[in-house]
Chain A
Amino acid sequence: MITAENLTKHYGEKVAVDGVSFTVEPGQVTGFLGPNGAGKSTTMRMILGLDRPTSGRVTVNGKPYVEHRAPLREVGALLEAKAVHTGSSARNHLRALAATHGIGATRVDDVIQMTGLTDVARKRVGGFSLGMGQRLGIAAAMLGDPKTLVLDEPVNGLDPEGVKWVRTMAQYLAREGRTVFISSHLMSEMAITADHLVVIGRGRIITTGSVAEVIAATTTASVRVRSPHAGALATALGALAGASVQGVETGLLQVTGVDAPTIGDLAAAQGLVLHELTPVSASLEEAFMSLTAQSVEYTSEPAGTSTTHAAPTTATAPPGAPPAAPPPPEELDDGDSHKGRHAAASQEGDR
C-alpha cells in the first residue's frame, strides 16, 4: 500500500510534482501513466526516499520508506535501467545489495534464475544491453521478496518476450496480494497490464480509476454503421434523443449516444438494410491522448493544427483512413502506438 498526500517537489523554479495525492492498493496492478516529464519518476523517487518532497508526504505500508528497518522486504524498486556500477558483475551487484539485509547467496541465485540472467550473471554489467539491465533491475527488486513493487518503465528496452514476462509477473505478484505500481508512457501496455490507473500530466493527477472507468470517463464509445440506406438511417437516428450521427464516407456512419442494439432494432423496424454494425470502444491510448493533450511537455505540432482538440476524433477514425489527429508527441513512441491501439481495443472488449 502506497499513500501519497499532497506530494510536491520543486527543482529550483521548476515544479516537477504538484500536490499529488493517490493511493496504490494491494492486490492489483496500478499503472502510473503519463507522458515523459510528467513527474512519474520524481514521484517514484520520493516514494523510495531518494528525493525529499518539498512538501507533502508519501508512506509505504504505513511508514515513510526511510523509517523501515528492512526496506528491501517492504519495497522492491526498479528505478532506472542499470543503477549498477559498470565494473561489477550482475551477481556481485545483487550479492552486495542482498548483504545489506543479511540475505545470502541462495536468494541471489534464485532471483538470477527467475529473471533469466544465469548465463550473464558473472559478466560485467557495463556490457549489458538495455534489456539485460532491466532484467537485472527487476532481479534486484525481487531480492527481498517485497510486499510492494515500484517499477519505473520496466518494459523499456525489453524484447516482446520480456515485455510479456514483466506483464505476467506483475499480474501474478498482484494476485498474490502484493502492491504493484508500474509507470509507463505506453498506454497500450498499461491497458493490458494494469487493473487500476493513476494518470499524471505536468506534475498533477489528471484522473484515477479502473482502466474501464478512465476510458469511459474520457471518451465516448461509438458505433460504426455501414448501410446502403445511410441517409434514411441517419434521419431516423437523428430523431432519437441523445444520438449524434456523423457521416464518415458514403454509406458509413459513426453514431454516438445510442448503443448498437438500439440502432439494429430501429433499422429492422424501418426495413433498412445494415451491412455493418460495430461498437467501437475507445482505447486507453485515445483516452490518454485526450487526457494529457494539454499537459505534454513537448509536442510535435504540424503547422496549422492544434493537438488539444485532436484526440476525440481519432477514436472513431475509419480503418485505413489517415487519423485526423496530428502525430502524437515524439515521446509517446508513435511507432508502437498503432499496433497498440488495436491490441488495446480488443483487450477492452474482453473486460
Chain B
Amino acid sequence: MSATTTTAAGIPSNARVTFAHELTSEWIKFTAVRSTPWILGATVIVMVGIAAISAWSFSFLLDNPEETGGAAALPTDFDFAGQSAVAGYVMAQIVVAVLGVMVITGEYSTGQIRSTLSAVPARLPVLAAKAIVVSVAAFVTGAIGVALGALVTIPLLSRFDYSIDLSNGTTLLTLLGAPLYLVGAGLFALGVGTMLRSTAGGIAIAVVLFFVVPIIWPNLSPDFFQDTSPYLPSLAGARLMEGESADAVLTPWQGYGVMLGWAALSLLGGAVLLKRRDA
C-alpha cells in the first residue's frame, strides 16, 4: 500500500457524465450481478418449456377431437404453432417484472444507490439508462425464448400441417408481441420499484397487477369492471399476441399503446420521486 500514487493516468481530460457513459455504467452493473444471467436464463427455459407443453396439449387436442370437443371451440384459422411458441410469456412476464423491480431496489437494499447517485447527481439519467437496459434485456430474452419455443413447437405440430409462417402478418405480430409485451412489463415494474424502493413490495405489486388482477377483474359483475378490463396493462398488452379480432375493444397496437401508457405513468411516478426524495 502506498499513498504516493496520485497521478491521474487513465482519466481522460474530458471525463464527465454523458448519457452514453451512464448507459455503459448501467449495462456493466446489470451484467456484473450474478443473478442476472440466472434470471434471464430461467426466463428462456420457462418460455421454451411452456411452448413445448402447449404444443403437446394442442397435438393431444387435434388427435382426439371427439373426446375433447375443444378443437371445435377454436376458430378455424387458429394459429396453433404461433400461439404455442409465445404461450410462455405469461410466466416470463413475472420473471421480467422481478428483474425490472430489482434493477433499482437491489441498489436501495445494498446502498449501491448512493454510489450511483453520487456519480450521476442529476439522477434522471440513471432511471432512463435503467429503462433502456431493462427494455433491451426483456426484448432479447423474449425473442430468444420465442425463437427457441418455435423450434420445439414445429416438430410437435408438423404432422397436423401446422407450422410457423413468418410471411403471415398475424403470426409475425404474435411472435413479435411476446418480447414487446415483456418490455412493457419490465418497464412498468421498473417504475414500481423506483417508487417503492423495496424489492418485496415492488414484486408483490407487479405480480398482483400482472397476474392476479387480470384474472379477477373481468369476472367481477358490475359493468364497470368488464368495461375497463381491456385497459388493464396486462390484458391490453396481450392484444399483441391475439391478432385482429372484431370482438376486441382495442386493436393489437392500441392495446400495446395502452400498456406502454401504464409503463410511462409508472416510470413518471418513479422519476418524480427519485428526483425529489433523499437518497
In the bound complex, what is the Cα–Cα distance between A52 and B123 (angstroms)? 13
Chain A residues with Cβ below 8 Å from B74 are none
Q: Are A73 and B6 in contact (CB under 8 A)?
A: no
Which B14-41 residues sit within 8 Å CB-CB of chain A? 14-18, 21-22, 24-26, 28-29, 32-35
B8 proximity list for chain A (CB < 8 A): 107, 145
B107 adjacent to chain A (CB < 8 Å): yes
In the complex, are the beta carbons of A66 and B121 less than 8 A apart?
yes
Taking CB atoms and an 8 Å cut-off, the chain B residues in 90-116 that contact chain A are: 106-107, 110-116
Q: How far is A260 from B119 in the complex, measured between Cα atoms in Å?
A: 54
Answer whether residue B64 sits at the interface, using C-beta atoms and an 8 A cutoff.
no
Contact A83 B120 (CB under 8 A): no
Q: Name the one of A70, A80, A89, A144 contacting B114, with C-beta atoms under 8 angstroms.
A: A80
A216–B160 Cα gap in the complex (Å)? Answer: 96
Choice from A50, A71, A104 contacting B10 with Cβ under 8 Å: A104
Give Cα A57 to B34, complex, Å.
Answer: 40
Confirm or deny: A240 has a beta carbon within 8 angstroms of a beta carbon on chain B. Answer: no
| Known contacts A66-B121, A100-B17; A172 and B9 CB within 8 A of each other | no
Contact with B along A76-91 (1 / 0, CB 8 A): 0101101111111100
How far is the CB of B32 from the nearest CB of chain A, in Å?
Answer: 4
> CB distance A99 to B25 under 8 Å?
yes
Residues on A with beta carbons closer than 8 Å to the beta carbon of B5: 110, 113-114
How far is B106's CA from A105's CA once the two chains are assembled, in angstroms? 24
**Could you say which residues of chain B place their CB within 8 Å of the CB of A221?**
none
A75 to chain B, nearest CB (A): 8
Contact, CB under 8 Å: B15 / A144: yes
- A172 and B28 contacting across the interface, CB-CB below 8 Å: no
Task: Decide yes or no: A85 and B12 within 8 Å by CB, A77-B118, A80-B111, A176-B6 being known contacts.
Answer: no
Q: Is A323 an interface residue, CB under 8 A from the partner?
A: no
List residues of chain A with CB within 8 A of the CB of B18.
102
B186-197 contact mask (Cβ, 8 Å, vs A): 1 or 0: 000000000000
Q: Does chain A have a CB within 8 A of B11? A: yes
Q: Is the CB of B28 within 8 A of A115?
A: no
B273 interface contact, C-beta 8 A? no
> Binary interface profile of A, 130-147, with partner B (CB < 8 Å = 1, else 0)?
000000000010001100
Known A82-B110, A82-B111, A93-B32; contact A100-B10, beta-carbon cutoff 8 A = no
Instruction: Say yes or no: A88 contacts B21, CB within 8 Å.
Output: no
**How close is A4's CB to chain B, nearest CB, in angstroms?**
17
For residue B114, which residues in chain A have a CB less than 8 angstroms away from its CB? 45, 50, 79-80, 83
Interface size on A, residues (CB 8 A): 57
Instruction: Collect the chain B residues with CB atoms within 8 Å of residue A113's CB.
Output: 5
Residue in A52, A83, A113 with the greatest tally of chain B CB atoms within 10 Å: A83
Minimum C-beta distance from B107 to chain A (A): 6
Partner of B28, one of A70, A72, A96: A96
Is B3 in contact with A168, judged by CB distance below 8 angstroms?
yes
| Complexed CA–CA distance, A168 and B3 (Å) | 7
Q: Are B118 and A71 in contact (CB under 8 A)?
A: yes
Residue B279 CB within 8 A of the other chain? yes
Per the bound structure, the CA–CA distance linking A50 and B123 in Å amounts to: 10
Chain A residue with Cβ nearest B8: A145
- Please, which residues of chain B bring their CB within 8 A of the CB of A172? 3-4, 6
Q: Which of B17, B107, B119, B279 has the most CB of A within 10 A?
A: B119
Evaluate whether A84 and B6 lie within 8 angstroms (CB atoms) in the complex, with A45-B278, A101-B119 already known.
no
Q: In angstroms, how far is the closest chain A Cβ from the Cβ of B73?
A: 47
CA distance A71 to B107 in the complex (A): 20
26 contacts between A and B (CB under 8 A): A48-B118, A65-B121, A66-B122, A69-B16, A69-B17, A72-B15, A73-B11, A80-B111, A82-B110, A83-B111, A85-B110, A87-B106, A88-B32, A88-B33, A92-B28, A95-B28, A101-B119, A103-B12, A116-B1, A124-B34, A140-B115, A144-B15, A145-B8, A165-B1, A172-B4, A172-B6
Residues of chain B whose beta carbon lies under 8 Å from any beta carbon of chain A: 1-6, 8-12, 14-18, 21-22, 24-26, 28-29, 32-35, 106-107, 110-122, 276, 278-279
Extra 20 A-B pairs, beta carbons < 8 Å, given A95-B28, A103-B12, A173-B6: A50-B279, A52-B278, A65-B121, A66-B121, A70-B16, A72-B119, A73-B16, A82-B110, A83-B113, A83-B114, A92-B32, A93-B112, A100-B17, A100-B22, A101-B21, A103-B11, A106-B9, A106-B10, A107-B10, A114-B5
